[in-house]
Amino acid sequence: MQGWYREVNPLRVAFNFIVIYLCRYLPCLPLKNFLYRRLGMQVGKNVSVGLMAMMDIFYPQLITIGDNAIIGYNATVLCHEFRIREFCTGAVEIGANVLIGANSTILPGIRIGEGARVGAGSLVNRDVPPGFLAAGVPARVIRKVAD
């Protein structure tokens, strides 16, 4: 972690941090989505990102959120991961009509399929298929979501 500044420009990280931290407290969803798009995130129409949700400050441009998705209170979306001897990145794709419960964490490289649901407090460390409910730590697919 000590050499993070070799991976990403510190000025870019500072700018991302300021915008993302501001968005954590903004109640105005259209303004929040506008600011996320300025960071390079792909944010669909009618996306609702809850209060205190935290997006990756190093690589927000690797986050894609589909139309009508809801990301709950204090959820965390990560696109980078520090390991003992390596630094990993991975795009996070959140499909259309997805619901991510409060206090959930999405790890790098994860795809959450269209219409999927993630239970509150879950740690998503593998892909969630479209139309399924996943929950737990780590999150496991539980059942098909009723239409």
Collapsing DSSP states into helix, strand and coil, what is residue 140?
Answer: strand
Closest CA to 125 of 135, 110, 143, 145: 110
Closest CA to 127 of 144, 103, 110: 110
Q: What is the rounded CA–CA span in Å between residue 7 and residue 3?
A: 8
Active site residue 80: yes
- Exactly one of 60, 70, 80, 113 is catalytic; which is it? 80
Instruction: Report the amino acid identity of residue 133.
Output: L
Active site residues: 80
